[in-house]
Amino acid sequence: MPRIMKLIIWIAGFILLIVLMRSPIEQTTNSTESLILPLSGKVIVLDPGHGGADGGAVGADQTLEKELALTVSKKLQHYLQQAGAEVYLTRETDRDLANDQTKGVSQRKVEDIKNRVVFMEEKDPDIFITLHLNALPSTQWRGAQTFYHPNQPSSKILAETIQEEIKVNLGNTNREALAINSVYVLKHANRPAALVEIGFLSNPDERELLKQSIYQNKMAASIYYGILSYFSESFN
């Protein structure tokens, strides 16, 4: 056998040995980490509102609710995953969840919202969070606010813990968590669920904040701390 072949075989064997040695070590490290992470074993579905033809609320500068809702959801997903949670987004791109062949905006909206509930049921998460932005004809209103459906006592606690962290960390709202009956995904969640309206696109100052990456990070982190606090309470 030529010396060069021997050398190649030796190097290949050495690389294989390194790979074999590393694999079990990494697995051990991962399982050790998952034992100590605060959200390990928790499954969470995040629902960025709207998408596709449905842009949601629109700011005076054409900022779209669907885009900011997705951006903040992905930031929140990152925080939750770092803490060991298994996180699913109902959408990861600019699309709705209606079937491709369904025509008409209103028909697509009905199907979209039902399919978000179907998605949630399939993933069977411990909690469900839907993210939206507000807009009203008057520009004066501002401040993030968290909502829950009154049919699920744990949803109230979840919404309150999230709202508390938003108030403390952002320091720009005195709004309290509020019960709401009319939100389909909350009503049909059958588990702790909250709607976070992260701010008003109709308020120029708040809209500018919401467009900033640093403010989006703070918002995502506040919701994340609220979720951590919710799971750290003894009743869960």
User: By C-alpha distance, which of 65, 230, 228 is closest to 159?
Assistant: 230
Give the residue closest to Zn ion by C-beta: 132
> Smallest gap, in angstroms, from Cβ of residue 133 to Zn ion?
6
Q: Which is nearer to Zn ion, 132 or 207 (CB)?
A: 132
Residue with Cβ nearer Zn ion (132 or 142)? 132
- Coil, strand or helix at 147: strand
State the minimum distance, in angstroms, from the CB of residue 80 to Zn ion. 21
Looking at residues 116 to 145 of the shown chain, list those that interact with Zn ion (rule: CB under 5 A): 132
* Strand ranges of the sheet holding 86-89, from the earlier edge strand across to the other edge: 86-89, 43-48, 127-134, 193-200, 145-148, 178-179
Q: Is 197 helix (H, G, I), strand (E, B) or coil?
A: strand
Tokens encoding 215: 């403010």
CA angle 6, 10, 12 (to 5 degrees): 120
**R_g over Cα of the chain:** 22
Interface stretch with Zn ion, choices 39-47, 49-57, 215-223, 225-233 (CB under 5 A): 49-57
The only residue of 49, 59, 192, 226 in contact with Zn ion, by rule CB under 5 A = 49
Q: How far is the CB of 50 from Zn ion (least distance, A)?
A: 6
> Given the complex with Zn ion, which of 83 and 120 has the nearer CB atom?
120
List the interface residues with Zn ion, window 50-69 (CB under 5 A): 56
The whole-angstrom distance between residue 71's C-alpha and the CA centroid of its chain comes to 9
- Residue 118 Cβ, how far from Zn ion at the closest point, in Å? 19
Give the closest residue to 154 by CA, choosing from 195, 198, 194. Answer: 194
Site residues, Zn ion (CB under 5 A): 49, 56, 132
